[in-house]
Structure 1
């Protein structure tokens, strides 16, 4: 049986803010981000000696099930030992998918279609908006990392329709 994807999710991992120190000898970290969805696993390059790294890297996942959580983990690269965990978050793509299903042709460029507020059920550090921009559906997010003292990750989601896909 062939896989029928709804579409592609492009995740631009922009930057980290106030990440935790994992290399005590230099009071810094060498962070990189790992994004997983089912068996798909993608990672950014590492930024050396930074607690506020700038990645600006685009990673793309194939989406089959919009209810399946996209997991984001931040790690500190270590040469001689296992990489240290610096926290994680889950990305809820359902609000983005709901907007993708709408008839958007009539919306003006830059229209905010949906607002999502931080809650106990999500990892948002601040309000996130799904916007119709340049004929695309995009969502900027600032995610608060869990199970860690501090740290946030800024990302942008963008939906990409696949020709012949079953659509969102």
Structure 2
């Protein structure tokens, strides 16, 4: 496989109002994947509002492929239950990176704002920001194929994959 164009550092913060898959709660965890790479968080026992607070480094080879985020309920004796999915579009981050290479911005500058729409998974407006020489984005993602649930993440683009 060829070298990645960069690394998406994904800080999986928390889940909000996730679906119940066991008797009173769920044991949720998040799987993040693109292409043939797959990373996952630990599961949180009996909590529909879990605090994962975990960082996952996902090398990006093709910016046209979405980063898929799936939430599951951990089960010991049966297959894990699906609790919804969302996707992260990397292209707006790379477009913002191109803008910052041309124009120098002070730290904290909002480079782009993305509104929720039918074509993305955003639950609220998301800002792509220039922070201390890096492009970052906070996302609140609405899970699909499930009755309810949000996942909050923070992503940072690392241009040099060797710098993680």
Q: Are 2:29 and 1:32 aligned?
A: yes
Tell me, which stretches of 5 or more residues in structure 1 are unaligned?
A: none
Alignment: residue pair count: 161
- Tell me if 1:42 matches 2:39: yes
**What is the TM-score when the length of structure 2 is the normalising length?**
0.94
RMSD of aligned alpha carbons: 1.4
- Partners of 1:71 and 1:106 lie apart in 2 by 31
Preserved contact between residue 27 and residue 74 of structure 2 (Cα < 8 Å) = yes
Query: How many Å apart are 1:105 and its aligned residue?
Result: 6.3
User: Structure 2: which 5+ residue stretches go unaligned?
Assistant: none
Say which is worse superposed, 121-130 or 99-108, in terms of deviation: 99-108
State the Cα deviation string for residues 11-70 of structure 1 (Å, max 9, x = none): 11000000000011xx10000000010100000011111000000100011111111010
Per the normalisation by structure 1, the TM-score is: 0.92
TM-fit CA distance, 1:101:
1.7
What's the offset of the Cα at 1:4? 3.0
Structure 1 segment 4-153 matched on structure 2, within 5 A = 4-24=3-23, 27-102=24-99, 103=101, 106-153=104-151
The alignment partner of 1:101 has SS state of helix
Q: In the alignment, which residue of structure 2 is the partner of 1:161? A: 159
> Per the alignment, do residues 11 and 61 of structure 1 end up closer, same or farther by CA in structure 2, a change over 3 Å counting?
same
- 1:104 and 1:155 map into 2 onto residues whose CA distance is 27
